């Protein structure tokens, strides 16, 4: 008679029912660490023992509950802080882009930009916006026409769909940028800006929340020797403060787990971007190519979670995560076309921008960690999604120049061809002359 098939161990069963690669890594650690802490009397020992026993019970209902519990325990939200920092960077880039456009349009003196509103999904790391603006308003003149002061604001909201490796989320963010610039000569200006942003992110399925405060410092410059050519440059450094709440909610064998793992930690990022364009005109039409290079380096400090009720079921699942780093280097080649139309009440100017973006750094995010209560610090790995290397974005903008120096604008933009990511943006603003 052939030998009877071997019965899988609880650890093997736990890994088999793990729904994703990240939960499989967590299952490996639970299966290794649990026997090492048996009899210790800790909450971690009780939690992992319950998980292993349910996995090896052979009961289909218990195993489904185990898969849900394993997903709740796994730190899938570990990459969300980088998404939050990207949103904050995008806010500052949009505000600086608006100022650079205004400078090329002849703005001097005091400039108070309108608060723009955008609705968008999460942006790829290399897509920070701000390369163009439909805002061509005219500010008032201070004593020295070479000196300029500006204040711009942006509000964003959006979402990202979940994947096998990363949690989905919704976010709201707003930010302001204030700066001063000086025209070093006709057709050239340099400036310094300070920015502040807040980002509030809610993880899907009541998975938790991440609040981010960002302070940034930027240097920027523009050079436009004639009516055709322009070159822009920006250098930005940002520091981020994170306040994270990760909900661990599941029911296993009739025992409910309702825990919140909290952590406060920091991060930073810096970016450098250069871009330009060449504008031709034919009557009321203007058109021409654009190009841009951007490098971003972002990092999130490691952190240790604290549980809301360490002695209750699920209180042993607090994690300790390592530092997280990511780099992006993108090129963007595009074309823009616009038309100035004289109206009885002013000038109406529609504009269309299309860009092809290439990402040179396409490594997937990877972060390692361990359970705080595991004395042997057995390590699990969390893998993020690999970014797309090529995608497109387009923007349709409409600006209006009104009597008295007031101007207003509205735009819609969208990213095309980015796998598993849908990005739509709308914005509006007004510039007033005093």
For 188-216, how does the pLDDT look when each residue is reduced to its tens digit (9 = 90+)? 999 999 999 999 999 999 999 999 999 99
Same-domain check for residues 66 and 84: no
**Region of poorest pLDDT, from 86-90, 113-117, 224-228:** 113-117
Measured in degrees and rounded to the nearest 5, phi and psi for residue 107 equal -70, 135
Compute the average pLDDT of residues 156-169: 83
Place of tokens 């979940």: 162
C-alpha–C-alpha distance, residues 311 and 117, integer Å = 45
Same-domain check for residues 226 and 351: yes
What's the pLDDT score for residue 263?
Answer: 98
| Beta strand ranges found along 224-307 (DSSP E) | 229-252, 255-278, 280-282, 285-300, 303-304, 306-307
Compute the average pLDDT of residues 130-138: 39
Mind listing the pLDDT tens digit for each residue in 379-430?
999 998 888 899 998 888 888 877 766 667 777 778 888 877 776 766 665 6
Q: Where are the alpha helices (DSSP H) in 188-284?
A: none
Kindly state whether residue 4 falls inside one of the protein's structural domains: no
**Region of poorest pLDDT, from 106-110, 134-138, 247-251, 264-268:** 134-138
| pLDDT exceeds cutoff 50 at 127 | no
Q: Which residues face 249 on adjacent strands?
A: 258
Same-domain check for residues 163 and 190: yes
- Count CB neighbours of 268 within 10 A: 15
Compute the average pLDDT of residues 41-49: 94
Same-domain check for residues 39 and 91: no
Same-domain check for residues 43 and 104: no
Kindly state whether residue 340 falls inside one of the protein's structural domains: yes
Kindly state whether residue 249 falls inside one of the protein's structural domains: yes
Kindly state whether residue 1 falls inside one of the protein's structural domains: no
C-alpha–C-alpha distance, residues 79 and 49, integer Å = 28
Mean pLDDT, the chain, integer: 84
Mind listing the pLDDT tens digit for each residue in 275-318?
999 999 999 999 999 999 999 999 999 999 999 999 999 999 99
C-alpha–C-alpha distance, residues 270 and 402, integer Å = 38
Please state the domain count of the chain. 2
Kindly state whether residue 5 falls inside one of the protein's structural domains: no
Q: Which of 110, 140, 98 is nearest to 232 (CA)?
A: 98
Kindly state whether residue 2 falls inside one of the protein's structural domains: no
Query: Where does a domain end: 70, 93, 114?
Result: 70
Helix, strand, coil in percent for the chain, rounding step 5: 20, 50, 30
| CA gyration radius, the chain | 26
H or E segment to which residue 181 belongs: strand 169-185
CATH number at 234 reads 2.40.128.130
Q: Which residues face 219 on adjacent strands?
A: 192, 235
Same-domain check for residues 28 and 93: no
Mind listing the pLDDT tens digit for each residue in 317-343?
999 999 999 999 999 999 999 998 988
The CB-based long-range contact list for 40-48 (8 Å cut-off, 24+ gap) reads: 42/316, 42/373, 43/310, 43/311, 43/312, 43/313, 43/315, 43/316, 43/373, 44/316, 44/317, 44/371, 44/373, 44/374, 45/316, 46/313, 46/316, 47/313, 47/314, 47/315, 47/316, 47/317, 48/316
Q: Which residues, 6 or more positions from 58, have their beta carbon under 8 angstroms from its beta carbon?
A: none
Kindly state whether residue 156 falls inside one of the protein's structural domains: yes
Same-domain check for residues 233 and 367: yes
Same-domain check for residues 15 and 120: no
Same-domain check for residues 14 and 98: no
Kindly state whether residue 3 falls inside one of the protein's structural domains: no
What is the span of the domain harbouring residue 41?
A: 10-70
């Amino acid at each position: 008679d052939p030998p009877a098939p071997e019965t899988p161990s609880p650890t093997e069963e736990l890994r088999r029912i793990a729904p994703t690669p990240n939960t499989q890594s967590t299952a490996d650690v639970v299966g290794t660490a649990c026997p090492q802490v048996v009899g210790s009397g800790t909450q971690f020992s009780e939690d992992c023992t319950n998980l292993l026993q349910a996995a090896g019970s052979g009961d289909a209902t218990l195993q489904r509950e185990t898969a849900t519990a394993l997903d709740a325990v796994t730190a899938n939200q570990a990459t969300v802080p980088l998404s939050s920092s990207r949103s904050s960077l995008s806010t500052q880039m949009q505000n600086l882009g608006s100022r650079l456009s205004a400078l090329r349009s002849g703005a001097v003196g005091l400039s108070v930009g309108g608060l723009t509103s955008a609705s968008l999904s999460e942006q790829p790391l290399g897509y920070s916006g701000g390369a163009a603006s439909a805002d061509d308003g005219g500010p008032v003149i201070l004593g020295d026409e070479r000196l300029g002061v500006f204040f711009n604001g942006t509000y964003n909201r959006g979402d990202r769909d979940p994947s096998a490796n990363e949690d989905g989320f919704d976010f709201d963010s707003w930010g302001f940028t204030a700066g001063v610039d000086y025209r070093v000569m006709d057709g050239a200006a340099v400036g310094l800006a300070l920015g502040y942003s807040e980002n509030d992110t809610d993880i899907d399925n009541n998975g938790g929340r991440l609040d981010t405060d960002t302070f940034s410092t930027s240097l920027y410059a523009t050079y436009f020797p004639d009516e055709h050519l322009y070159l822009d440059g920006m250098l930005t450094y940002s520091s981020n403060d994170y306040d994270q709440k990760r909900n661990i909610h599941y029911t296993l064998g009739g025992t409910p787990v309702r825990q919140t793992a909290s952590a406060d930690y920091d991060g930073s990022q810096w970016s450098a971007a250069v871009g330009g364009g060449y504008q031709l005109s034919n009557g009321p039409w203007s058109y021409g190519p654009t190009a841009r290079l951007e490098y971003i380096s972002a990092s999130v400090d490691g952190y240790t979670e604290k549980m809301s009720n360490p002695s209750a079921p699920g209180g042993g699942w607090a994690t300790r995560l390592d530092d997280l780093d990511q780099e992006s280097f993108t090129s963007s080649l595009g074309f823009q076309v616009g038309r100035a139309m004289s109206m009885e009440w002013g000038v109406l100017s529609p504009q269309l921008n299309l860009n092809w973006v290439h990402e040179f750094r396409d490594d997937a995010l990877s972060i390692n960690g361990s359970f705080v209560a595991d004395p042997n610090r057995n390590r699990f790995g969390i893998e993020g999604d690999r970014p797309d290397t090529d995608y497109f974005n387009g923007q349709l903008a409409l600006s209006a120049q009104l009597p008295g120096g007031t101007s207003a604008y509205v735009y819609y933009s969208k990213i095309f061809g980015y796998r598993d990511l849908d990005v739509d943006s709308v914005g509006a603003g007004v510039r007033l002359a005093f």
